[in-house]
Amino acid sequence: MNDMSTGRLAGWKEIARYLNTSVRTAQRWEQELGLPVHHTGSSKGYSVFAFEEEFEAWLKRSKGNGVHIREQSGPATETDFETQASRLPLRKLLAIVAIAVVAAGGLFAVIRFRAGQTPKVSLVTFSGRQLLAWSNGKVLWSYDLGQMTRDLRPQDLNRTTHILPSGQVIAAAPLLQTEAGGSSTDAVYYLSSTGKLLWRHVFADRVHFGGEECGPQWIVGALMVTGDGAHWSAWCTVCSQPTSVSMVVNIDSSGNTARYFVNYGHLWRLSELWVPGGPYLLAGGINNESDDAALAVLAEGKPSGRSPQTGALSDCDSCPEGQPYRYFLFPRSEVIRVTGPPYNNVDGIAVMGSQIHVVTAEGREPEGGRWAVYNLSAGLVPKSVFFSDHYRFAHEQLSAEGKIKHTLAACPERLQPITVREWSSAEGWRNIALPPIESRVPNRLDSKELARK
């Protein structure tokens, strides 16, 4: 059952019910059509969730592109038509038949017109050395990248490829190291609707930040396109390998690039926030100084410098000018401090009208079902947080093993405020106290309650 207060949908069954389709079809839509589903990485219980507002926006975009998603209740049968016809006077029946003949002729003309149209790309994948563009389940065209690619999960494909309304493709190719053993780096390709290369950008930057020399090996964490028509921009988060730094890079429609922001820690998520002052980028990932999940808020109209670090870690001789508008750190829970890894990370960002939901993930698969959702107002003020059931289960187990020295009922995270740290250029760092976990309004994402439903 979904959370009616926030429009959250928990698990594939709830997602399929909202879309009026089957679970298998909903999963196929995620893989092939980019249905916005958030993964928690869990192997037990539900492992995905979604937001109704994101679905409605996706459905609207799909309809605008000529893809009709919602399933109907089913076509009328011959018996239905016969029953209705038997109740009509002969004159009305003949008129209906005449209209139907005309409509059928018009439909035939529309079918002929559509058959003559060039199919549009609906999905982009990578295989071997090839970038494959798909339409209606078939490969429409392919492009030879000249280098082998590494495997990506479907959700990673959705985050690193984009199809413009015109059918043109913007894709970050996940390139493997070269056969000669030298380092390789991901590249962004801009291809026409028929597979012609328009431009290609390889990330060859070198950055000195936080005492680390980074580059030229970079992996794209997320790719997002803003604007529409001929006036669009691509935004990429690119993460250095094997070091700790990441960048937010802007690429305009002509292939010109600008480094907008440098972060000490990898960034893997991007979203966009529109407020009266203009559009802002939301870039989420990790801050390696604090080992906490991080969210950078960046003005799209100007470069935003670097993440706010302390001491020698703040030195950067290759970062752009400017400062981020806001920068948030979301704390690790008591569970992850015992079990590891030594950090949590922002795993999802959902902008929904007057609310922003920032999802932080803890742990590795298959234990990665421990997550928290921080709720922020549209004015970027943190308001509340709640944790998944997996956090509770892990806490109870660690308490029983003596690795946590108190019970779940006596846990400070349930009884004391949760502290989020916020940085701004005007005030520097400050602490924001959120209500304890258990003081929140009960939500319907709990797996036990879902099982009862």
| DSSP-based helix, strand, coil % in the chain, nearest 5 | 25, 40, 40
Decide: 10 and 445 in contact? Cβ < 8 Å. yes
| Global confidence as pTM | 0.73
Closest C-alpha to 248, from 231, 224, 228, 278: 224
Decide: 26 and 20 in contact? Cβ < 8 Å. no
Closest C-alpha to 318, from 210, 217, 220, 423: 210
Look up residue 242 and give its two tokens: 């094997």
Backbone angles phi, psi at 216, to 5 degrees: -90, 10
Residue-by-residue pLDDT tens, the chain, 453 positions = 444 445 778 888 888 888 888 888 888 788 777 788 877 544 344 467 888 877 887 887 666 555 555 443 333 333 332 333 334 444 444 444 444 444 444 444 344 444 456 788 999 999 999 999 999 889 999 999 988 888 887 778 888 999 998 899 999 999 876 544 455 689 999 999 999 999 999 988 899 999 999 988 899 999 999 986 678 899 999 999 889 999 999 999 999 999 999 999 999 999 999 888 889 999 999 999 999 999 999 999 899 999 999 998 999 988 999 999 999 999 999 988 888 888 899 999 999 878 899 999 886 554 457 788 999 998 899 999 988 888 888 899 999 999 999 998 899 888 899 999 999 999 999 999 999 876 443 343 333 332 333
Backbone angles phi, psi at 326, to 5 degrees: -145, 160
Provide the residue type at 266 as one letter: H
Domain boundaries, the chain: 78-115
Compute CA distances 449 → 141, 198, 223, 349, whole Å: 47, 52, 36, 25
**Token pair 């026409």 in the structure block, residue:** 192
